Structure 1
Amino acid sequence: MQDPRMAAPVTGSGVVVVGAGLAGPVAAIYLARRFGRVTVLERHADPRHIPAGQGRSLMVIVSHRGWRVLRELGLEDAVRRICVPLTARCGHLPDGSAVLTPYSRDRAPIWAVERHRLHRLLLDAAEAEPGVGLHFERPVLAVDLQAPALLVRAGTAERWISCRHVIGCDGVHSAVRAALVERGAHEQVSTLELAYQEIVLDLPSCDRGLMHYWPAGDALFGAFPLTSSPLFAGSVFFRKDGPAPSYAAAVNGRARARQFVDVFPSLAAGIPDLEEQLATKPVSTVRLTRCDTWTSGGRAVLVGDSCHAMAPFMGQGMNCAFEDVRTLVACLDQEGDWRRAFAAYERSRKTDGDAIADISYQHYRTMSRLPDPRDEAEEAVARRLVALMPNRFVPLYERCAFSEESYSAALAEERRLRELARRILIRHGSAAVDLPDQQLRAFVPAR
């Protein structure tokens, strides 16, 4: 199957990881320590040779699930040195008021890090790991799941390389997932109704220990403190089409700047180069993926965005992908057989991948919406229940970011809490918010 025309050939190995984003290097390190040689193929150029800020979103969040993986790989201390801890998010409302929401009840922090700095650290660690071979500008054009083998391009030449196992860490446009779909898997690939742009800005009056956001109904601006400068990395989200504000109609930086000023006037006043940034930085979209089949025997498996790309608003995309890898490796350790391990991994993670995707999209709606008395009453009753019975009810964000609880179990518990709050409101109306503790407890079913 090999084509001798391929320049700078990549030699086949037992395990091939497709994709060298954030999850790919993590998978390579885990697998090399257990199975020896691992080849990593990445379609893009080495990001360590590209100026920062030219790729995906500027910031990512590391929370409990991610820290466990980094700790197991011996990278925790190095990553913490380039992170900033955030204990809460601060919502700046149009009327000038602010709402502070702690990420956890004990004020434990999540950690923000510039994507490019973390990515480079992970790539350096993978490159230093004995047995790992990184190959950039090597797009995988096709995957033969039966062999298995991969058709790889280098320059203008192409060649099939053989292997025993393929790990698909290749994101939304996954070639590995495409091969599964060719064999009967069903995928859902869609684009969120939002467009976004990154903006770097100075927010001198904003606490750098918080994430800051400005909700505007159909629009949202969020900002995280950069770890390499005193500035903030901001993202503005607008609807792509439909009712105003519409980014589809804003065809240049000047039009986008006018739109930004209309929706976020207080922010715009502090960004002197707003029009220039909006004119030169790409307008990006959020791609979502789901797939009903993540594996092909013991030959191929999907990880991370290749099977569950999600909206970024919970900060769990990378953490979930890292946990995918750890779970996959744990299944390999336990089963001792690749086919059984891949099957066990899919059973363990498929429902959770779907659940955190649902949670992440809903969190956008939570952050972007303006105060509504109907929603506020339900929120107030839910908060009362959490405060009254802290061991029984745990906030959804806390479950996701500060534990290893199954995402699907966390979502189920949150739905039960919300349903209980709604029942209490139906029974008592607006007076439910001020019910005595004993009456509220009476609504909670015994376990």
Structure 2
Amino acid sequence: MGTPSPELVRVADKAAMAQAAADLLLTRIAANSGRIAICLTGGSSPKQLYELLATQSYRDRIPWPRVHWFIGDERFVPPGDPLHNMTMARHAFLDACAPADNIHAIPTETDSPESSANAYARELMAFYGADALDPARPLFDLVLLGIGPDGHVASLFPGYPAVDVRDRWVVGVDKAHVAPFVPRVSLTLPVLASCRTMLFEVGGTDKRPILARVLAGEDLPANRARSNETTTFLIDDSAWPEQSGKLPHALIVMGVSSSGKSTVGEALGRRLGWRFEDGDSFHPPANVAKMSAGQPLTDEDRWPWLQAIADEVARCRAKGEPIIIACSALKKTYRKILVGDPRDVRLIYLEGDRELIGDRMGHRKGHFMPPGLLDSQFATLEPPGADEHPVTVSVDEPVESIVDDILKQLAIGQDRA
């Protein structure tokens, strides 16, 4: 099984991002009744989160004696230096809240970054109780990361050998790719991946260019850093690239029965943090009874159903609430009712041949549409044309790959003319 794809969660601003990150951190802590390990990050992105953790409403909910605090990378400068990552975290919340023995800083008062890397690797191994990582027993409960302007994470820079290191826990980096140009010490990608949750914070207009490259799937350290379990990107409105910032308010996932509309729609909703609704739930009882009896619906049957979905889309658009709805939407006339002419409603067309989808339908249980109606659906289907600006994806792929393809097309596709 491959590494799970990340969930993208859009928030209003940096304050909302800090609160969402703090809440997720508390959820992760609450899931472990034993010793807890959190891996922090440096830079400017997490400072608001750290200060929030020091406030009474969060501070009182953290079992400080059980939580150990590590850091994903460090600048090779003495503790107390303004560039020192763990010093920033200590000043923001650790010194006031955490037991001193639970703060695990990378030692930087050694003779070289490599010496520091080796010392920190020994500390991590001692904490873990082994010198080899077991995927079934993650080192960290949560790893916090940001994304650098070049796509680096921790101090793993694009094109640097350290990105490809698989046989070490920590490496020294002699020269940084971006400012400040000081040597670094960094955990490697396999060690960062050894976590229950990997959480990225991405905020500010200065992150727009690199986030566009990340969402487009470019081979960058930020796209290689993934938890073996769950990865979440918290992205504030100002960081979304111009095209991604114009993501539609509504997505209609369309296709014939058994093409996977609900499965893909739900997965897409989880990744975007959007509400998902199955269009079947908008059918009036008479339509459900008719289909259960094996009778195809007429257009007269469909109009009130389509209008009910269109009304829900309009309601959500008016309130600024993004929504994903699965709906067969087989004919262009049906889609005109659903989409109309707004620029912020997009079609996601799940494309597949009769043989593949027929096989899926044969294994489907508990749905009110019998397999015999599939032929009538294909006969009715009018695939969306270029003038409808659909996002077209093949259903002959794993669900997460389909969602990746959809997000990639939405992120880098052209706006509707």
TM-score range, shorter chain: under 0.3
Query: What TM-score do you get using the length of structure 1 for normalisation?
Result: 0.26
Higher strand share: 1
Larger Rg: 2
